[in-house]
Structure 1
Amino acid sequence: MKVVLAIDSFKGCASSQELSAWIEEGIKEVYTEADVHSCYIADGGEGMLSALMQNVKGKIVTCKVHDPLMNPISAQYGILEDGTTAVIEMAQAGGLPLVPKEKRNPLLTTTFGVGEQIKDAIEKGCRKFIVGIGGSATNDAALGMLQALGYRFLDASGKELGLGGAILESVHHIDESHVLPELKTCEFIVACDVDNVMYGPSGSAHVYAAQKGADEAMIERLDAGMKHFTQVLKNTLDKDVAMNAGSGAAGGMGGGMQAFLNATLRSGIEIILDQIGFDAHLNNATLVLTGEGRIDRQSLMGKVLSGVSKRCKKAGVPLIALGGGIADELEEHEGVDAIFSVMRYPMSLEEAMEKSRAEKLVKQSVKEIFRLIKLIKNSAS
């Protein structure tokens, strides 16, 4: 029996690597001879770097950058075996957990540190970038990142502007005279799993800024600033990206990278599956196990479960999903043969997320699933 594991982290509880180890232990308590292949999985947010670099050959690089409030920190990124492809996880330098709750303010936070990571990778010879933009603390349309790469944003009088989402409303001119020349030869692929636009009711500020510390007045200001800035892009660079699906991701990071770096936005899970050669793992597979902390309708719309299910369906391999919780709305789940919750009795979220208890729950659930598989198999023979 060949079993392929492609399970996302249970966020705040256990990583893809930890869950894969627990599941393998559970499987082998029932099927000692099982051939288990673990594919560490993530979408474009936190954990993408770790998951991807444990599946492919390459190295982790640490560099000095600035966090969203311009405090000096160390951040990591990956360089793949080819020496020219870098994997950047935005959360490393621009992530929300880097900013204390009492200091969260998307008018002030900047993506500058992400640009510093890219610059460091360029200096090391990288020319292709895979950038995961989930989990951001920012709403600056990538301006900070671009400033770190040499772009200067000027107000109506020609004065250079500072950092943060607050400058969006004041940008009138774009100075490209100091931009890193190597950027012209670079390719950017952005892991993006949302379809929000840059401004408006479904724009970056109205949908996401509140969780980054914005109040209603800030949200309106950021939204107006984003609208103004996209008009500047259209007038000065002839780039009309504001209403592109995903352009509003990570506080306009998606649109900013499209406009200035000609970035391609792709599903994060599709990028990961391609990079780790997931389709090859499906050859001769008996079964695939996937899942995430909570499985709901969104899980089947461009996230890990969706991406894995499409590949399994195409390859004709049965797929079972595990989740900490399962939404009532999931009456149908195309491409997924069965969904199981690891919960065995009522408990609080805090209890369920306690690591030792989660490990026990996952192992117990996996053992029961494979006992059932063994029973069915024995009955059929």
Structure 2
Amino acid sequence: MLYKQMKIIIAPDSFKGSLTSMEAGTIIKNAFQKVFPQAAIEVVPMADGGEGTLDTLLFSTKGKRLQKEVKGPLGEPVPVEYGILGDEETVLIEMAKISGLPMVEESKRNPLNTTTYGIGEVILDAINQGYRKFLIGLGGSATNDGGLGMLQALGATFQDEAGKKVPPFGSAVGEVASVDFSTIHPQVKECQFDIASDVENPLCGEIGASAVFGPQKGADEKMVEMLDASLSKYGALIEQHLGKTFQNMKGAGAAGGLGFAFLSIGGTILSGSKLIAEAANLHQDIPHADLIITGEGQSDFQTLYGKIPGYIGQLASENNIPAMLISGSLGDGYEKLYEYFTSCDSIATGPMSIEDCILHAENLLYKKAYNLAKIIHLHSKGD
């Protein structure tokens, strides 16, 4: 095939702290288009279920945005966005945009005072419009309420010892004495909840939601112990009520235990990378490409364990399509990535600090992509 007829798919994750996945993809495309002006180059920005998932997938699938005012992470009314994918049947919810840590000022971050109630409100809004299929990204949460707020918004009843309904905040999780799921909106049972999360932590314990993620949400050591004990009691009550166990399932501790709540209403926690890639139809497009390019802020041996570039590299390998990886930096064990990638490159030019790489990321990425395109062009002339 002549190089000018090449089909190139550019599907990067974001370069954290510097470039969104869309920005990174566009920069790489511009560099390659300059060398291959007649090539068919498609940018498919990617995400892993965390921040940027909504924007990324609505662009990739030509979906649409919907607005709704709901309770934010601190319980106050806030305008939020969610989406409908291009298939016109899948609702896309990015937790970071509804109950996310970036929505809470640093001085106000306290998992005792945050709630997932708004997530439930958005789900009900979509249900009332006739939707039944949901894709939910759990990254970037400000919460540690075990999904108490979301389940209450969906209609579940949680009462304390005095028979009063508990408030929908992290501080109230330990007050729950009785659980009743029979009051949940009946159409919730008709819904499919696919949860995009690469977090495998259980609900409680040393590697549970509170211990691992609580501190970054404002919890001190004493609070972590209290939150963990509360979630354990709360989780046991729900399991006893439903006659099923979820606390120790992989991902139950995602988003402060929201993963557990989704499992309790029939949700399925899946690899965020796989779900997002499939929603963007990459598994259908990659077999028809001549070259795949992906990237991220830093690549190392962990890239192969659930990260977007690793999954894309594996997809490309399965279809015998050459793949190239361009990253902000290459870390420990990156050599293992050569199993799936033809080349692995860092955008750094000589010894550079992380700050300099972030500051000059746009220019550095363009130059690296342009150099790679020139090399491919040289080796394509004889085809």
TM bin, normalised by shorter chain, reads over 0.9
Partner SS for 2:206? coil
Counterpart selection for 2:362 from 359, 362, 366:
359
- In structure 2, what is the equivalent of residue 268 of structure 1? 272
Partner SS for 1:353? helix
Partner SS for 1:270? helix
- Unaligned segments of structure 2, at least 5 residues: 1-5
- Distance in 2 between the 1:85 and 1:29 partners? 37
Aligned AA (2:99):
G
Please list, as runs of the form range in 1=range in 2, the aligned pairs for 1:81-120 lying within 5 A after superposition: 81-120=86-125
Partner SS for 1:294? strand
Partner SS for 1:265? strand
Partner SS for 2:98? helix
Instruction: Quote the offset at 1:69 in angstroms.
Output: 0.5
User: Any conservation in 1 of the 2:61–2:87 contact (CA below 8 Å)?
Assistant: no
Instruction: Quote the offset at 1:331 in angstroms.
Output: 2.7
- In structure 1, what is the equivalent of residue 378 of structure 2? 375
Q: Deviations over 1:53-88 (max 9, x none)?
A: 112143110111121101221111112355432111
- In structure 2, what is the equivalent of residue 215 of structure 1? 220
User: Any conservation in 1 of the 2:10–2:42 contact (CA below 8 Å)?
Assistant: yes
- Distance in 2 between the 1:82 and 1:280 partners? 14
1:11 corresponds to 2:24: no
Aligned AA (1:298):
Q
TM normalised by structure 1 equals 0.95
- Distance in 2 between the 1:128 and 1:258 partners? 15
Q: Deviations over 1:215-261 (max 9, x none)?
A: 101111111111111211222221210110111111111111101x2
Instruction: Quote the offset at 1:204 in angstroms.
Output: 0.7
User: Any conservation in 2 of the 1:4–1:289 contact (CA below 8 Å)?
Assistant: yes
Please tell me the root mean square deviation across aligned C-alpha atoms, in Å.
1.6
User: Any conservation in 1 of the 2:301–2:332 contact (CA below 8 Å)?
Assistant: no
Partner SS for 2:288? coil
Partner SS for 1:241? coil
- In structure 2, what is the equivalent of residue 232 of structure 1? 237
1:122 corresponds to 2:141: no
- In structure 1, what is the equivalent of residue 72 of structure 2? 67
- Distance in 1 between the 2:12 and 2:149 partners? 33
- In structure 2, what is the equivalent of residue 54 of structure 1? 59
- In structure 1, what is the equivalent of residue 317 of structure 2? 313
Q: 1:73 to 1:90 in 2, by over 3 A?
A: same
Higher mean C-alpha displacement, 334-343 vs 137-146 = 334-343
Q: 1:319 to 1:68 in 2, by over 3 A?
A: same
Aligned AA (1:364):
K
Aligned AA (1:17):
M
Partner SS for 1:282? helix
Instruction: Quote the offset at 1:163 in angstroms.
Output: 2.3
- Distance in 1 between the 2:182 and 2:271 partners? 33
User: Any conservation in 2 of the 1:89–1:133 contact (CA below 8 Å)?
Assistant: yes
- Distance in 1 between the 2:294 and 2:122 partners? 31
User: Any conservation in 2 of the 1:84–1:125 contact (CA below 8 Å)?
Assistant: no
Q: Deviations over 1:154-174 (max 9, x none)?
A: 112322111222222221211
- In structure 1, what is the equivalent of residue 308 of structure 2? 304
Aligned AA (2:364):
L
- Distance in 2 between the 1:13 and 1:100 partners? 21
- In structure 1, what is the equivalent of residue 291 of structure 2? 287
- Distance in 2 between the 1:365 and 1:251 partners? 39
Partner SS for 2:336? coil
User: Any conservation in 1 of the 2:252–2:259 contact (CA below 8 Å)?
Assistant: yes
1:40 corresponds to 2:45: yes
Please list, as runs of the form range in 1=range in 2, the aligned pairs for 1:327-366 lying within 5 A after superposition: 327-333=331-337, 334-354=339-359, 357-366=360-369
Counterpart selection for 1:138 from 143, 149, 152:
143
How many residues end up aligned between the 2 structures?
377
Counterpart selection for 2:172 from 167, 173, 181:
167
- Distance in 2 between the 1:138 and 1:282 partners? 37
Aligned AA (1:45):
G
Partner SS for 1:283? helix
- Distance in 2 between the 1:282 and 1:231 partners? 44
